[in-house]
Chains A and B, each alone.
Chain A
Amino acid sequence: SQQGEEDPQALSIQEGENATMNCSYKTSINNLQWYRQNSGRGLVHLILIRSNEREKHSGRLRVTLDTSKKSSSLLITASRAADTASYFCATGWTSGSRLTFGEGTQLTVNP
């Protein structure tokens, strides 16, 4: 079964608005990662946040992690049409090397 679950499944916004996507997971993790996938392409990593971190920034991206609620959020500020893609969270287990991916959020940014 999938470890991470993204919410919402789809999100449509206007250029310039902020986009927030959420990820919930079920078991203990040592890191959580966010990836982007453009249509027909492979996944590209965005941010990795470790279980002892609460917030991380990278450019227009902000990721938070709440281990007590087993949830994470990805905020994209001042969105652009080029941000249109699917976004996936992936959780790393406390032992082993495998990541488990959620089903993704399809973000559409309208010009």
Chain B
Amino acid sequence: NAGVTQTPKFRVLKTGQSMTLLCAQDMNHEYMYWYRQDPGMGLRLIHYSVGEGTTAKGEVPDGYNVSRLKKQNFLLGLESAAPSQTSVYFCASSYFSGFLYFGAGTRLSVL
């Protein structure tokens, strides 16, 4: 099993550009999450999904959109990137309210 796979691993964007981060899990988990990690601020939840076709806002959803068209995939979109979105992004999945399984992260720089 690959677990949780995030692509890409690194990306540099210019302000105003758009991009999509892809998360795929092969554990048949119902729940999937997108977090961002910034120095001194821990992990903050952006959006999450409790099942195929569902999404919900987390703590810091502004500037991001998500889609969960297939159970195994959770996409995070940035429509117009801003320097404040420079961060490390982590996708995670879980069975209901149990442990989260994390991907290796995507390092995004917005210039």
Q: Which residues of A contact B (CB under 8 A)?
A: 2, 30-31, 33, 35, 40-45, 48, 88, 90, 92, 97-104
Contacts and interface: CB of A to CB of B under 8 A. Distances in A.
Contact of A97 (B59, B90, B96): B96
A31 B100 CA distance: 13
11 contacts: A2-B41, A33-B99, A42-B103, A43-B102, A45-B101, A97-B94, A98-B33, A98-B48, A99-B45, A101-B42, A101-B43
Given A42-B104, A103-B40, A98 B98 contact: no
A98 B103 contact: no
Q: Chain A at the B interface: mostly helix, strand, loop or mixed?
A: strand
Contacts of B1: none
Interface of B: 4, 31, 33, 35, 40-45, 48, 50, 58-59, 90, 92, 94, 96-105
Contacts of B42: 2, 88, 101-104
Contacts of A2: 41-42
Contact of B104 (A41, A88, A92, A103): A41
A8 B97 CA distance: 27
A101 B33 CA distance: 13
Contacts of B43: 43, 88, 101
Closest 8 pairs (CB-CB, A-B): A42-B102, A103-B42, A45-B99, A101-B43, A43-B102, A101-B42, A42-B104, A97-B31
Contacts of A44: 102
